[in-house]
Amino acid sequence: MTELNILYFASLREALGCSGERLSLPEGVSTLGALREHLAARGEGWAALAAGRNVRAAVNQRMAGFDAPVAPGDEVAFFPPVTGG
């Protein structure tokens, strides 16, 4: 498998207008942070993923920092922090 499966949850899903996509891993993108930057560079609603925005992520259903590696075949999820109350 040469693609990533990317999922978007909650307010990110609303801002982006989709719940997910399949994406070939772009050249030079090897970390979760680099993937986030690549996606945010699409403009408009994608700015919801920009650095400085409060976004959490998981790789293969495990919480991950933005320095975590990503590879073809991985499942990546982006979501806003969850609060309770």
In this prediction, residues 31-40 reach a mean pLDDT of 97
Q: Within 10 Å of residue 36's Cβ, how many Cβ atoms?
A: 22
Q: What is the mean pLDDT of the chain?
A: 93
- Flag whether 19 is in a domain: yes
Q: How many whole angstroms separate alpha carbon 49 and alpha carbon 81?
A: 13
Helices (H), 17-84: 32-40
* CB-CB contact of 7 with 19 (8 Å): yes
Write out the E strands in the chain. Answer: 3-8, 20-24, 56-59, 62-63, 75-79
Looking at the 3D structure of the chain, how many domains does it have? 1
- Flag whether 53 is in a domain: yes
- For residue 38, the enclosing domain spans 3-79
Does the reported pTM lie above 0.75? yes
Q: Please report, for the domain that includes residue 64, its CATH number.
A: 3.10.20.30
Q: How many whole angstroms separate alpha carbon 85 and alpha carbon 77?
A: 24
- Flag whether 65 is in a domain: yes
71 pLDDT higher than 90: yes
83 pLDDT higher than 60: no
- Flag whether 56 is in a domain: yes
